[in-house]
Amino acid sequence: MTNSIGEIAEADFILAAGTNTFDAHPIIGIKIKKAVANGGTLAVIDPRLTDSAKLAQYHLQLKPGTDIALFNGLANVIIEEGLYNKQFVEERTEDFEAFKQTVAKYTPDYVSEITSVPADVIREVARGYAKAKNSTILYTMGITQHTCGTHNVFSTCNLAMLTGHIGKESSGVNPLRGQNNVQGACDMGALPVVFPAYQPVAVEANREKFAKFWNVEKMPDKPGLTVGEMIEAAGKSVKAMYILGENPVLSDPDANQVMHELKSLDFLVVQDIFLTETAQLADVVLPAASFAEKDGTFSNTERRVQLVRKAIEPIGDSKPDWEIICLVATAMGYPMSYDSPESIMNEVAKVTPSYGGISFDRLELCGLQWPCPTPDHPGTKFLHANKFVRGLGKFNPVEHIPPNEQPDAEYPMVLSTGRRRYHYHTGTMTQRTGALEVFYPEEYLEISCEDAGKLGINDGDKVKVTSRRGQVEVTAQISERVTPGLVFTSFQYPDVPINRVTNAARDPISKIPEYKVCAVKVEKVS
């Protein structure tokens, strides 16, 4: 997030795109409700009638996969009506002319045809977003999980720069991260092309710095593989894998293929707290301690580093992940040992400029938002205050690209997947709480009344969802949340491994799979 969670409550206009906030980020949902209670305007861009869409003054119920057209349309109105922030565009950005040319053809009427959002609504939302004192964009996977995910994100940034709604309080472009430490995993270099703090592997100076710091001869310079690429290469160029706390068999698209590929590895080690669907394929399973059994830090979606404190001893013979990693490294001939996670953080701070001022002592008092380069730095509430990281903000003009797979005669419906309020990720934890799974025991497929009628499906019927890649059975729920032609379910139930159906087509830049759109057919199971 460019800005902080607390600032959302003070925003005058919230443009929430592809985020089912009330279910997936309930505490951020609270801030949105507060903003609305304070008189702010909420516009929700979502093909589904989510709870936040119900609260919104504007629900832009677009066709799945037409976000770029919609954002370009908003920009078109803002430019056309002279509502853009000319001073900001002039002083803080570049390539405005190219952007202006690109969005010129995205008139409200044209965009309305693509998205099916009424032209007047596009105009009103554009005006509202542009004119409000502080407007903020929130988004999650509804924006990113498309083959054009990166371009979708560009289009949100373009809008923020166009209006100058960035680099100040209660504004900005704010991806709401779905997992407790996804921010931290990225910050710490668990990515194939960067060292901690996004220092590119491709830069020789960085490689030299880390080689020296870690006391090894050299650092690999070849860009690494992303998750999807690793799995595709499994059994081919990749012979052995070490999977820590991940469950790709349920979470990754085209799951049948994932299982097949993981099985073809020479060696698979999985480290987890449960024997997940992925762990069952492993050659060795290492029992890890849960968050309650270890110290450390998580970095949240607003870049706030906070302490995780050990409350109980590790269960059974399990060990904290950091200890296990040290054991593996040492056994592989690289002696690695720390007396505590605090010592690891002290090392992190030395090579991670944005974490330079972070220490457990400071975190004992309160969380710190990076960049926090020095021990006396208070942390950073919002980014890009006077200058973008790269200097001038660059407009990246982008064109509408339809999803990779379109409905056709054989697979006439669009399947979109997401999350439920009562569950988390692949359900490994939330299916074992004694409470959540009791209240919400079964997954279902949301289907419109119209489609259900055509297909002879009643509420509660078992249906089969089939795509070119696979099929699953699930209970149908007739719902006002989806429009005709769209069905929706989550990937959080092992009983409904919906990723056997989803499309593994990926965004060419970020490699994110297109979970939000694939073509399926739905049939009643007799």
Pairing state of beta strands 304-308 and 296-299?
A: antiparallel
Per the structure block, which two tokens stand in for 319? 């060990």
Question: What distances in angstroms separate CA 218 from CA 5, 336, 415, 486, one per listed residue?
Answer: 40, 18, 46, 51
CB of 263 to another protein, least distance (A): 12
CA distance 34 to 318: 43
CB of 495 to another protein, least distance (A): 16
Rank residues 306 and 475 by Cβ distance to another protein and give the closer one: 306
DSSP secondary structure of 374-387: STT----SSS-SSS
Strand order across the beta sheet in which 135-139 lies: 58-60, 41-45, 13-17, 135-139, 173-175
CA distance 28 to 478: 28
Rank residues 356 and 513 by Cβ distance to another protein and give the closer one: 513
Rank residues 102 and 140 by Cβ distance to another protein and give the closer one: 140
Rank residues 269 and 383 by Cβ distance to another protein and give the closer one: 269
Beta bridge partners of 513: 506
Rank residues 321 and 521 by Cβ distance to another protein and give the closer one: 321
Residues across the chain: 526
CB of 255 to another protein, least distance (A): 12
Rank residues 394 and 421 by Cβ distance to another protein and give the closer one: 421
Give the 3-state secondary structure of residue 85.
Answer: coil
> Residue 28 in contact with residue 51, Cβ under 8 Å?
no
Rank residues 134 and 499 by Cβ distance to another protein and give the closer one: 499
SS3 breakdown of the chain: % helix, strand, coil, rounded to 5?
Answer: 35, 20, 45
CB of 182 to another protein, least distance (A): 4
DSSP secondary structure of 157-221: HHHHHHHT-SSSTT-SEEE--SSTTHHHHHHTT-BTTEEGGGEETTSHHHHHHHHHHTT-S----
Rank residues 441 and 453 by Cβ distance to another protein and give the closer one: 441
Rank residues 403 and 513 by Cβ distance to another protein and give the closer one: 513
CB of 126 to another protein, least distance (A): 27
CB of 250 to another protein, least distance (A): 10
CA distance 66 to 75: 15
One-letter amino acid of 189: G
CB of 434 to another protein, least distance (A): 4
CB of 451 to another protein, least distance (A): 22
Alpha carbon distance, N-terminus to C-terminus of the chain: 47
CB of 278 to another protein, least distance (A): 9
Q: What angle do CA 279, 281, 283 make, to 5 degrees?
A: 90
CA distance 94 to 316: 58
Phi–psi pair at 263, nearest 5 degrees: -65, -25
CB of 61 to another protein, least distance (A): 22
Rank residues 114 and 436 by Cβ distance to another protein and give the closer one: 436
Rank residues 119 and 225 by Cβ distance to another protein and give the closer one: 225
Beta bridge partners of 463: 474, 524
CB of 103 to another protein, least distance (A): 27
Residue bearing tokens 């929700």 = 44
